[in-house]
Copies of this chain bind each other. A is one copy, B any other.
Amino acid sequence: MGVDIVLGGSASAYLARKVAERLGVEFAVLETRKFPDGETYVRVPIDVAGRKVALVQSMYRTPNEYLAEFLLASKTLKDLGASEIIAVIPYLPYMRQDSRFKPGEALSAKIVAELMEWCEVSTLITVDLHLHRFRSPSELFRVRVRNLTAAGELAKAAVEEFSLKPPLIVGPDEEAEQWARIAAEAVNAEYIVLRKERSSDEEVRVMGAADVTGRDVLIIDDIVSTGGTLAETARLLKAVGAPRVYAACTHALLVSGAEAKLYAAGIDAFIATDSVPNPYAIVSIAPLVAEALREV
């Protein structure tokens, strides 16, 4: 059980290092660079023959670049004789494109899932995978998937970091219920989930009966990309009387002026994990990942 080597891709060297230290196993980082013509150079710098390798590569912000590096690396590991490849992809992109809204659209989630198989990955370890239309990763993936969650650790860290009185945990929409529930259990708090409703032409987020007056509120979600959902949720909570609104997300992509939106919406503070490099990474997912690697 466990792995022999933790190998970091260029996206996640720091994380691979932390995981390897916890496991007390060999550690290395892929040698990579971009050629001037845009091609990616990949070299495995250690002997992997006959060994079980965890390849750690989160695929954030430039997912096509990191995906290309990953497939070059995993095929090379096999070619060099690695006995097994465990893919550790904390943030796995393309998972939201899992059904056709218009005819002819790529089912990118399914294609990326199949690509993992082509990469000869035996097990995929990921964190807070965004599954819309599927109940379990096994409906989408044919490789084994361990879908870890950071929601509990995030809630605990938020309570401590912000010195929160038992907060009201809020999931911005039905899909976030899974994370809100886990977060609430972790800190022994209540949770509510907002609903999206169509009123005339627009979609609006509406609340149920919860009274937020005078309460610390902690929004929990899996991904913050452009910040729209989180900002809208915070604005609503402030409007109905929440004095302080905090937020915690697993994957802080924070693209396209997201931080400006969050602060403009009155979010008092924000924390995230280190699944993606970001300046709000208070919680490391390394312990979760190390634990999962011990069990594969």
Contacts and interface: CB of A to CB of B under 8 A. Distances in A.
Interface of A: 8, 10, 13-15, 17, 27-34, 36-46, 60-65, 67-68, 71-73, 75-76, 79-80, 93-94, 97, 102, 104-108, 111, 114-115, 118, 201, 225-226, 253, 255-257, 259-260, 263-264, 274, 277-281
Secondary structure at the A interface, as helix, strand, loop or mixed, is mixed
A29 B257 CA distance: 9
How many copies of this chain does one complex carry? Answer: 4
Contacts of A68: 63-64, 67-68
A37 B108 CA distance: 14
Which of A33, A38, A61, A115 gathers most chain B CB within 10 Å? A38
A104 B260 contact: no
A107 B41 CA distance: 10
Contacts of A253: 37
Contacts of A111: 71-72, 75-76
Contacts of A14: 259, 279-280
Nearest to A225: B37
Contacts of A45: 104, 260, 264
B105 A29 contact: no
10 smallest beta-carbon distances between A and B, as pairs: A14-B279, A13-B259, A64-B68, A29-B260, A44-B104, A42-B106, A36-B256, A76-B106, A72-B106, A37-B225
A106 B40 CA distance: 10
6 contacts: A30-B260, A38-B63, A42-B106, A64-B65, A75-B111, A76-B106
A71 B263 contact: no
Given A104-B46, A274-B279, A38 B61 contact: yes
A255 B33 CA distance: 9
Contact of A43 (B10, B34, B36, B102): B102
Contacts of A33: 256-257
A15 to B, nearest CB: 7
A63 B37 contact: yes
Contact of A108 (B39, B102, B279): B39
Contacts of A63: 37-39, 68
A68 B259 CA distance: 19
A29 B264 contact: yes
A37 B92 CA distance: 12
Contact of A32 (B8, B75, B107, B260): B260
B259 A29 contact: yes
Nearest to A269: B17
Contacts of A29: 259-260, 263-264
Contact of A13 (B32, B46, B67, B263): B263
Contacts of A279: 14-15, 274, 277, 281
